[in-house]
Amino acid sequence: MWLRDLFRRFLRLFRRRRVRLGIYGPPNGGKTTLANRICADWLGEEMGSTNRIAHETRELRVKERIMIRNDDGREITFALVDTPGIATRIDAKDFEREGLSESESRVRAKEAAKGVLASVEHLAKVDCVVIVLDASKEPYNQVNATLLEAVGKRNIPTLLVANKIDLKKADVERVCAAFPDQEVLGISAKYGDNIELFYAKLFALVAGTR
């Protein structure tokens, strides 16, 4: 009898679906900075490197088994996917203007384009999404609107984050006005402003997909 019960418990654990959380948004919005903070806070290690030049992240990065707790002591575990920035236009000349050589710029542009395609395709595999926008920039553009429309059509649970509220030009209300149908949370992934509230909302987002 006990062997049968043990086997049943094992099967339930084996069949438990691992939630995949995707971090999406345009280049240089702070996706990897946020991913690094999540990983540092809950795993004690970072996700990947960041750079002032756009498209530093050009491949999907995944951290498995991130476990976070809420104030009640409950725990959830998920896989975190840091995605390349979504863009409609990638020009090698832009990288040259940032100081990269012509050959380096061509390679980076090609890799960035592949990364954008991988990000879009991976939407079919994620269970929930955090979209990270730079709160100091104009929020309503083709990339951001299309991304929100895409996750909406797929009914993917989404948290919209207005990042970089530490900057003087940051305007969370402008992001709210641009996307009135979305709940918007202003944070600074770099300095940790509102990060505890972010984790509370992240817990609810992930827990709701289990």
What per-residue confidence (pLDDT) applies to 85? 77
Closest CA to 185 of 193, 71, 75: 193
Give the confidence band of 58 by pLDDT, cuts at 50, 70, 90.
low
What gap in Å lies between CA 135 and CA 137, rounded to an integer? 6
Among 10-19, 131-140, 144-153, 160-169, the least confident range: 10-19
160-203: pLDDT as tens digits: 999 999 999 999 999 999 999 999 999 999 999 999 999 999 99
What per-residue confidence (pLDDT) applies to 12? 42
What per-residue confidence (pLDDT) applies to 169? 96
Between the CA of residue 125 and those of 20, 87, 121, what are the distances in Å?
A: 8, 20, 8
Q: Which residue has the higher pLDDT, 62 or 58?
A: 62
What per-residue confidence (pLDDT) applies to 103? 78
* Helix%, strand%, coil% for the chain, nearest 5: 40, 20, 40
The answer to whether the Cα torsion of 70, 73, 74, 77 is positive or negative is: positive
Between the CA of residue 118 and those of 27, 111, 136, 157, 210, what are the distances in Å?
A: 14, 10, 27, 20, 25
Asked whether 64 and 79 are in contact (CB, 8 A), the reply is: yes
6-49: pLDDT as tens digits: 444 444 444 445 799 999 999 889 999 999 999 999 999 888 66
Asked whether 95 and 107 are in contact (CB, 8 A), the reply is: no
What per-residue confidence (pLDDT) applies to 144? 92
Among 3-17, 65-79, 114-128, the least confident range: 3-17
Is the predicted pLDDT of residue 51 greater than 70, yes or no? no
What per-residue confidence (pLDDT) applies to 16? 46
Is the predicted pLDDT of residue 81 greater than 80, yes or no? yes
Q: Where are the alpha helices (DSSP H) in 44-170?
A: 92-97, 102-122, 142-153
Q: Which residue has the higher pLDDT, 189 or 116?
A: 189
Residues in the chain: 210
What per-residue confidence (pLDDT) applies to 36? 93
Residue 61 CB neighbour total at 10 angstroms: 18
What gap in Å lies between CA 91 and CA 60, rounded to an integer? 21
Q: Which two tokens stand for residue 25?
A: 């948004």
Is the predicted pLDDT of residue 90 greater than 90, yes or no? no
What per-residue confidence (pLDDT) applies to 196? 96
Between the CA of residue 11 and those of 6, 75, 78, 100, what are the distances in Å?
A: 9, 21, 19, 53
Full set of structural domains in the chain with CATH = 18-207 (3.40.50.300)
Q: What is the mean pLDDT of residues 115-137?
A: 90
What per-residue confidence (pLDDT) applies to 2? 43
145 Cβ contact partners less than 8 Å away, ≥ 6 residues apart: none
CA 15 to chain centre: 26
